[in-house]
Amino acid sequence: MNRSIIIAIIIAVGVTAWIASGQIDTGGDSETANGDAVAATKADGTSADTAETHKNQPKIMGVRYAISTAQPKEQEIIVHGRTEANRVVELKAEISGRINKIYVEEGDRVKSGDRIVSFDVKDNKARLQEAEALVRQREIEFNAAKKLNKKGFSSDTTFASAKAQLDSASAQVTAMKIRLNDLVITAPFDGYIEAREAEVGDYVKDGNGIATIVESDPLLITGQISELQVGNIEVGGKGSAKLVTGETVNGKVKFIGRVAEPETRTFRVELEVPNKGYKLRSGVTAEIVFKTNSVMAHFISPAYLTLNDSGVLGLRTVGEDDVVKFNPVKILADTPDGIWVQGLPETVRLIVVGQDFVRAGDKVRPDLFVAEASQ
């Protein structure tokens, strides 16, 4: 056989023997390692199954909580509206005639009974004097008929006729006095003159406009309140309003409508506020806030709010068993310092750190949150 072939066969046999001896040694080491592991497990008294169970258990999340206690909170209803004068009256002529004098200008303040304009008297005073003279004549005739009737020289019919004529003459005097009063138009209440249509020399007929007088003290702030909230306020209740011009005023509810607007299903509501000096104007946009009954609510930071998997707004709390609970809440008011919410028990452990990393039903490790002192 060729020498080179013999050498190749010897090398191949040697390599094969070396590989085989390595596999045997490795197997022996592995078995020994497994044996040592089993012995160690038995020495600790812990089974492999128990180790696997600990490995699969969920990790308990740590959270921080603050104790929150409910407080009485006066509820508020916000309505958008505008200011209105308490009364606006257009004064009109009650007789026909020519205006001979004007006593006020537009913007003037007037008191009840102050003169606004007067008409030319013409023959009205003379007609009054004529009516008064007729009354005196009828009184004489009546007295004569009365004496004759008592003595039996006059019938009851004649006496009654004299009495009727006297009454008629007296009625004419009264009518002429009323007419003379109508020649002067006066202010029916305290207010100011918003507009004046009449001028000196104008001839007006009965029913024509003379001037518009406005009463704005007190001032009304009106709005429309929804049918869901109208039952929460009452006449005489407190309220306030912030005007778009910057003023804030307080008042009381004067009127609540009984019939809803067909289109909006809302009710008219009026807040009456003082307006001394007529500083507040009518027709200004305002935001009205009505006070209602107090309810128990929690005052918290809006940062504690979260959403559940269904998108419901609420807060997460920790129960006595350290299990997380989700509480849907309703926001009652939003202030620069925090929010008022309703829907929590009277006293709760409110999660303030980690609320977005846990879910309802999770077991947690709660720690009391202590705010850091300001430096």
The DSSP string of 208-273 is -EEEEEEEEEEEEEEEEEETTTGGG--TT-EEEEEETTS-EEEEEEEEE-SS--TTT-EEEEEEEE
Of 277 and 80, the structure prediction assigns the larger pLDDT to 80
Which H/E stretch holds residue 23?
helix 3-44
Percent of the chain predicted with pLDDT > 70 = 82
Q: Residue 171 above 50 pLDDT? A: yes
| Local structure of 53: helix, strand or coil | helix
Residues 74, 185: Cα–Cα separation, whole Å = 50
For residue 194, give the amino acid letter. E
Domain final residue pick, 293, 310, 336: 293
Q: Give the pLDDT band of residue 8 (cuts 50, 70, 90).
A: low
pLDDT at 154: 74
Q: Establish if 35 belongs to a structural domain.
A: no
Kindly report the average pLDDT of the chain as a whole number: 82
- Rounded to a whole number of angstroms, the distance between the first and last alpha carbons of the chain is 99
Q: Residue 9 above 80 pLDDT? A: no
Average pLDDT over residues 260-270: 93
pLDDT at 28: 40
One DSSP character per residue, 131-195 reads HHHHHHHHHHHHHHHHHHHHHTSS-HHHHHHHHHHHHHHHHHHHHHHHHHHHTEEE-SSSEEEEE
Q: Establish if 166 belongs to a structural domain.
A: yes
Of 211 and 150, the structure prediction assigns the larger pLDDT to 211
Average pLDDT over residues 109-128: 82
Q: Both 178 and 100 in a single domain?
A: yes
Of 315 and 136, the structure prediction assigns the larger pLDDT to 315
As for how many domains the chain has, the answer is 3
Q: Residue 189 above 80 pLDDT? A: yes
Q: Establish if 25 belongs to a structural domain.
A: no
Residues 293, 189: Cα–Cα separation, whole Å = 37
Of 167 and 373, the structure prediction assigns the larger pLDDT to 167
Q: Give the pLDDT band of residue 293 (cuts 50, 70, 90).
A: confident
The b/e string for 67-103 (b: 16+ C-beta within 10 A; e otherwise) is ebebeebebebebebbbbbbeebebebbbebebeebb
| pTM greater than 0.85 | no
Domain final residue pick, 209, 244, 275: 209
Q: Give the pLDDT band of residue 115 (cuts 50, 70, 90).
A: very high
Which residue segment(s) compose the domain that 130 sits in? 89-209
Q: Residue 370 above 80 pLDDT? A: no
Average pLDDT over residues 48-68: 70
Q: Are 239 and 218 spatial neighbours (Cβ–Cβ below 8 Å)?
A: no
Q: What is the CATH number of the domain that holds 305?
A: 2.40.420.20
**pLDDT, tens digit (0-9, with 9 covering 90-100), for 326-367:** 999 999 888 889 999 999 999 999 999 998 899 999 999 999
Q: Residue 217 above 80 pLDDT? A: yes
Residue 136 has, within 13 A of its CA and on its CB side, a CA count of: 5
Q: Give the pLDDT band of residue 153 (cuts 50, 70, 90).
A: confident
Residues 210, 43: Cα–Cα separation, whole Å = 114
pLDDT at 375: 36
Q: Residue 52 above 80 pLDDT? A: no
Q: What is the CATH number of the domain that holds 138?
A: 2.40.50.100
The CA–CA distances, whole Å, from 351 to 58, 60, 67, 86, 220 equal 20, 15, 9, 52, 46
Of 132 and 324, the structure prediction assigns the larger pLDDT to 324
Average pLDDT over residues 263-271: 94
Q: Both 301 and 289 in a single domain?
A: no
Q: Both 203 and 129 in a single domain?
A: yes
Q: Both 300 and 289 in a single domain?
A: no
Of 43 and 269, the structure prediction assigns the larger pLDDT to 269
Q: Residue 207 above 70 pLDDT? A: yes
Domain final residue pick, 231, 259, 293: 293
pLDDT at 95: 82
**pLDDT, tens digit (0-9, with 9 covering 90-100), for 272-287:** 999 988 889 999 999 9
From the number of C-beta atoms within 10 Å of its C-beta (0-12, 13-18, 19+), residue 229 rates as middle
Beta bridge partners of 241: 249, 288
The conformation of residue 60, written as its DSSP 8-state character, comes to P
Q: Both 114 and 223 in a single domain?
A: no
Q: What is the CATH number of the domain that holds 278?
A: 2.40.30.170
Of 92 and 175, the structure prediction assigns the larger pLDDT to 92
